[in-house]
Amino acid sequence: MPKDRSPTRIQKKNRAAILEAALDVFSTHGFRGSTVDQIAKAAGLSKPNLLYYFPSKEAIFNELMAELLGTWLDPLRALDPEGEPLEEILAYVQRKLQMSRDFPRESRLYANEIVQGAPRLHEVIAGDLSDLVEEKAQLLQSWMDAGKINRAHPKHLLFSIWSLTQHYADFDVQVRTLMGEEDPFDAAPEYLETLYRRMLTPKG
């Protein structure tokens, strides 16, 4: 799309429609299984019209991932070194669980990319994500060394939080089928808080 003037209301609307449609298509079929034609159809636009805004499937995907990764890393960034350690971790668990509830398509999109070997995310994983995880792992370790929470491998602790919260989004159909009439998010917050509180509260 031309960059020499501010986008019009219609242009903003069409870009938003394209990204919303692409999120549905990519999260369902993955990057390799998705096509520009599928995205255009889901957005209610012709293929030439879509290509006016984005020159390729890769350009659409890259913009989606740029927005997603900022959102994805924010809950971990919010882990406060000055806060009460156990409550900070429990709040992080709840933030991650809420993200699975609010952004299931985004979670599946990220998971699909990782399963395919993260060819378009490797630099981010090796860069921003790696640096952030290292920083927060050192924070967790310092809390453990000070006796404020029970000892556990800090990176595996983070991995377990990701697994137990993102499961509800990535395996949504399975979870909801097995839960029957019960909304899985009704009991999940209390269950996960109890699990991590028991695991991390120092004895005595």
Q: What is the mean pLDDT of residues 51-76?
A: 89
CA 33, CA 61: separation in Å to the nearest integer?
A: 13
| Beta-sheet strands, E only, within 67-172 | none
| Angle of CA points 146, 152, 158, to nearest 5° | 110
What are the structural domain ranges in the chain?
9-55, 64-200
CA 41, CA 21: separation in Å to the nearest integer?
A: 8
Say if 9-55 and 64-200 have the same CATH topology.
Answer: no
Cβ-defined contacts of 68-75 (< 8 Å, 24+): 68/106, 68/109, 68/110, 69/121, 69/124, 69/128, 69/129, 71/99, 71/103, 71/106, 72/99, 72/106, 72/110, 73/128, 73/129, 73/132, 75/99
Tens of pLDDT, residue by residue over 155-177, are: 999 999 999 999 999 999 999 99
The pTM of the full predicted model, rounded to 2 decimals, is 0.84
Tens of pLDDT, residue by residue over 107-151, are: 888 888 888 887 777 777 878 889 999 999 999 999 999 999 999
Name which of 193, 202, 199 is nearest 87 in CA terms.
193
pLDDT at 93: 98
- 64-200 domain in CATH 3.90.1570.10? no
Residue 32 has pLDDT above 80, yes or no: yes
Cα 86 to chain centroid distance, Å, stands at: 23
Which of 2.60.40.10, 1.10.10.10, 1.10.287.610, 1.10.10.60 would CATH assign to domain 9-55? 1.10.10.60
